[in-house]
Amino acid sequence: MTSQVSSPAEQADGTVVGEQRTAAGTKGVRRLDRVIIRFAGDSGDGMQLTGDRFTSETASFGNDLSTLPNFPAEIRAPAGTLPGVSSFQLHFADHDILTPGDAPNVLVAMNPAALKANIGDLPRGAEIIVNTDEFTKRAMQKVGYDASPLEDGSLDGYHLHPVPLTTLTVEALKEFDLTRKEAERSKNMFALGLLSWMYHRPTEGTEKFLRSKFAKKPDIAAANIAAFRAGWNFGETTEDFAVSYEVAPAATAFPPGVYRNISGNLALSYGLVAASRQADLPLFLGSYPITPASDILHELSKHKNFGVRTFQAEDEIAGIGAALGAAFGGSLAVTTTSGPGVALKSETIGLAVSLELPLLVVDIQRGGPSTGLPTKTEQADLLQAMYGRNGEAPVPVVAPRTPADCFDAALEAARIALTYRTPVFLLSDGYLANGSEPWRIPELEELPDLRVRFAQGPNHTTEDGTEVFWPYKRDPHTLARPWAIPGTPGLEHRIGGIEKQDGTGNISYDPANHDFMVRTRQAKVDGVDVPDLGVDDPDGTARLLVLGWGSTYGPITAAVRRLRRAGQPVAQAHLRHLNPFPKNLGEVLRRYDKVVIPEMNLGQLATLIRAKYLVDARSYNQVNGMPFKAEQLAAALKEAIDD
């Protein structure tokens, strides 16, 4: 059993792993409370699909789960090389979990490169399933194995399952009229079948999926299903796999409700469609394809029957330009991109600040600068979102904390944009975008009312008693200007990027007016109503506060749980609103002797916090394209507590 789990100290969440043997046929069944599996292979081996399918099986079974897809930017990197390795990690449990896990309990390695690239992350005692067919001399030499790692004893500390996956798959499909190459392609489904047997996953969903995916090629569908079943049967019959494992549904971890599995980009897309419905405004997306944001464009383009218009523009600038034009016309306008695209959109965001029109700018952050690491995650666009424009151009910033939370964050960003007539940044990242977790599907009645009132008539009386419309006469509470859309008689007006006279909106170069307008735009954003920051400090004895934002929520919370279990009091707070900050943030920060801010950048939130609150917040940083590991964070926080 030790092959399944590492010692408690190495657990992602510090959970104690239980074990119970039950009988099932001739083979033993062991009960686990959680497992971390990593599928790894060549980028052409279908590892992402395999992981997705295993995730769907796991979700429908009712486990809590968290996923971490990790793939190269090249569509087909050179075969068999280390840079070409694509992997998918899944953590599932019978209880509430927060991260995809630090270290896999099980590695499925489809070739030598996949083994070599991932072995370093495996704790001793982990199970490794390798496709022995791919361990040829040449393939091993390609990644620097002089001797076969399957034979030289270097894997002695692990529980190795050598399986000729390719041969078995081809053998299983010999009845099909397929070339050898075609048959080999189904080896990922064989592996999925084997793992599905090992962990008692339901299989109907995958078979249904394969039938629908290959609806136009029933032979291929049948072959994949045959390979999938062969993998299952192989597990059941071969002596190498003596036991299988059960991870019970996480029934008590979840509040009652109907659940589904959802990725961050899908949740964000749904959040936008929901915001459109709640605002009763048509959704317009202007976008240019960019990793890792393109999936939002793909998803929204499927929902034209919701009145969603998606416009694939000629470039990033046109994407946001078209969105801003649609906002002028009364749409709920959105542009989606990643860091390099934000750089190109900056001037138009500045125009939107000046025009004071609602506009959502969705930035799925990735490794930078420049092209950086397109498929890896990072949080290094915060300062770009805050300050990356000419002039004083404040923009509210909202960040989701988990994949499913992208839904709520999109609604919140829309609320701010529509209420205050301003562009709003929604800062997600590659980890949230592609990762997935269970999501309680909200009832429509739970969604916020986002309806707006367009201006309908004059809003000002001049000295001579004439009723006129002033496009920059503000709501005294929100400081928002009226949204008067073309087609409204009598409200014809002109707006532009040149400084405008307060009230009338006419061009004005008057120094005092400019000073007033700059301060007013700032005051409007500063005055955005955001909820107070909640602090998780169970017994009130903590002297250290760990403050985070965005996708670090999972690892930080997992680290905090570890520390508390080890008897270390620590307080945690997580910011959804980065601009403006919650009104109580300064007071919260001053409650604690020490403040630590973990970020996947070089300290951007810490810089803002230190500047605004004069608090000696310490940074803990990682910019390796991957999310924090809970263990490593816990160690860093422990060090800060002891310091």
Partner 1 sequence: MTDADLLQLVPKAEGRQTMKDFKSDQEVRWCPGCGDYAVLAAVQGFMPELGLARENIVFVSGIGCSSRFPYYMNTYGMHSIHGRAPAIATGLATSRRDLSVWVVTGDGDALSIGGNHLIHALRRNVNLKILLFNNRIYGLTKGQYSPTSEVGKITKSTPMGSLDAPFNPVSLAIGAEASFVARTVDSDRKHLTEVLRQAADHPGTALVEIYQNCNIFNDGAFEVLKDRQRAEEAVIRLEHGQPIRFGADRSKGVVRDPATGDLKVVAVTPENEADILVHDAHSASPTTAFALSRLADPDTLHHTPIGVFRSVGRPVYDTLMADQLDTAVDQHGKGDLAALLAGGDTWTVVG
- What residues between 91 and 130 interact with partner 1 by CB under 8 A? none
CB of 93 vs partner 1, minimal distance in Å: 15
**Judged by CB under 8 A, which of 211, 277, 473, 610 binds partner 1?**
277
Give the amino acid at 216. Answer: K
| Residue with Cβ nearer partner 1 (30 or 309) | 309
What are the C-alpha distances in Å from 471 to residues 100, 337, 357, 503, 526?
Answer: 50, 30, 11, 7, 21
| Residue with Cβ nearer partner 1 (315 or 639) | 315
Identify whether the C-beta of residue 554 lies closer than 8 Å to the C-beta of residue 98.
Answer: yes
| Residue with Cβ nearer partner 1 (103 or 274) | 274
- The count of other CB atoms within 10 Å of the CB of residue 242 is 9
Total residues interacting with partner 1, rule: CB under 8 A: 72
Place of tokens 């449990």: 93
280 binds partner 1 (CB under 8 A): no
Nearest to 40 by CA among 167, 129, 136, 170: 129
| Residue with Cβ nearer partner 1 (161 or 481) | 481
Binding mask 494-523 for partner 1 (x = CB under 8 A): xxxxx-------xx----------------
CA 502 – CA 520 distance, rounded (Å): 9
What are the C-alpha distances in Å from 633 to residues 96, 356, 621?
Answer: 19, 41, 10
- The count of other CB atoms within 10 Å of the CB of residue 587 is 12
Strand partners, 575: 549
Stretch binding partner 1 (CB under 8 A), from 272-280, 371-379, 518-526, 631-639:
272-280
Task: Calculate ∠ Cα 181-187-188, nearest 5°.
Answer: 130
CA 265 – CA 271 distance, rounded (Å): 10
CB of 240 vs partner 1, minimal distance in Å: 32
| Residue with Cβ nearer partner 1 (45 or 356) | 356
CB of 192 vs partner 1, minimal distance in Å: 16
Nearest to 262 by CA among 421, 405, 72, 96: 405
CA 208 – CA 211 distance, rounded (Å): 5
| Residue with Cβ nearer partner 1 (83 or 497) | 497
Give the amino acid at 624. Answer: N
Binding residues among 154-173 for partner 1 as defined by CB under 8 A: none
Q: 529 Cβ partners below 8 Å, 6+ apart?
A: 419
Q: 326 Cβ partners below 8 Å, 6+ apart?
A: 284, 286, 309, 333
Structure tokens at 552: 């670090």
323 binds partner 1 (CB under 8 A): yes
| Residue with Cβ nearer partner 1 (18 or 496) | 496
CB of 327 vs partner 1, minimal distance in Å: 8
Binding residues among 65-84 for partner 1 as defined by CB under 8 A: none
**Helix residue ranges per DSSP H, 78-217:** 112-118, 137-142, 165-172, 180-184, 187-198, 204-213
| Residue with Cβ nearer partner 1 (84 or 330) | 330
Binding residues among 23-62 for partner 1 as defined by CB under 8 A: 56, 59-62
Give the amino acid at 589. Answer: L
| Residue with Cβ nearer partner 1 (61 or 472) | 61
Strands (DSSP E) found in 278-433? 283-287, 309-312, 332-337, 359-365, 397-398, 423-429
**Judged by CB under 8 A, which of 36, 194, 290, 355 binds partner 1?**
355
| Residue with Cβ nearer partner 1 (56 or 459) | 56
Binding residues among 237-266 for partner 1 as defined by CB under 8 A: 251, 254-261
**Judged by CB under 8 A, which of 325, 527, 580, 586 binds partner 1?**
325
Phi, psi of 461 (to 5 degrees): -115, 120
Stretch binding partner 1 (CB under 8 A), from 97-105, 488-496, 575-583, 585-593:
488-496
Helix (H, G, I), strand (E, B) or coil at 299: helix
Stretch binding partner 1 (CB under 8 A), from 109-117, 299-307, 367-375, 628-636:
299-307
CB of 355 vs partner 1, minimal distance in Å: 7
| Residue with Cβ nearer partner 1 (422 or 601) | 422
311 binds partner 1 (CB under 8 A): yes
CB of 391 vs partner 1, minimal distance in Å: 13
- The count of other CB atoms within 10 Å of the CB of residue 219 is 12
DSSP code for 530: -
| Residue with Cβ nearer partner 1 (164 or 282) | 282
Binding residues among 430-449 for partner 1 as defined by CB under 8 A: 440-444
CB of 213 vs partner 1, minimal distance in Å: 13
Structure tokens at 91: 């953590």
CB of 565 vs partner 1, minimal distance in Å: 25
Nearest-10 Cα torsion for 587, 589, 593, 598: 170
CA 548 – CA 98 distance, rounded (Å): 15
| Residue with Cβ nearer partner 1 (284 or 620) | 284
CB of 415 vs partner 1, minimal distance in Å: 17
Identify whether the C-beta of residue 420 lies closer than 8 Å to the C-beta of residue 528.
Answer: yes
What are the C-alpha distances in Å from 28 to residues 16, 229, 241?
Answer: 22, 20, 10
| Residue with Cβ nearer partner 1 (318 or 414) | 318
Stretch binding partner 1 (CB under 8 A), from 347-355, 379-387, 536-544, 607-615:
347-355
CB of 504 vs partner 1, minimal distance in Å: 10
Binding residues among 199-238 for partner 1 as defined by CB under 8 A: 205
Stretch binding partner 1 (CB under 8 A), from 345-353, 363-371, 587-595, 623-631:
345-353
Binding residues among 374-403 for partner 1 as defined by CB under 8 A: none
Identify whether the C-beta of residue 126 lies closer than 8 Å to the C-beta of residue 36.
Answer: no
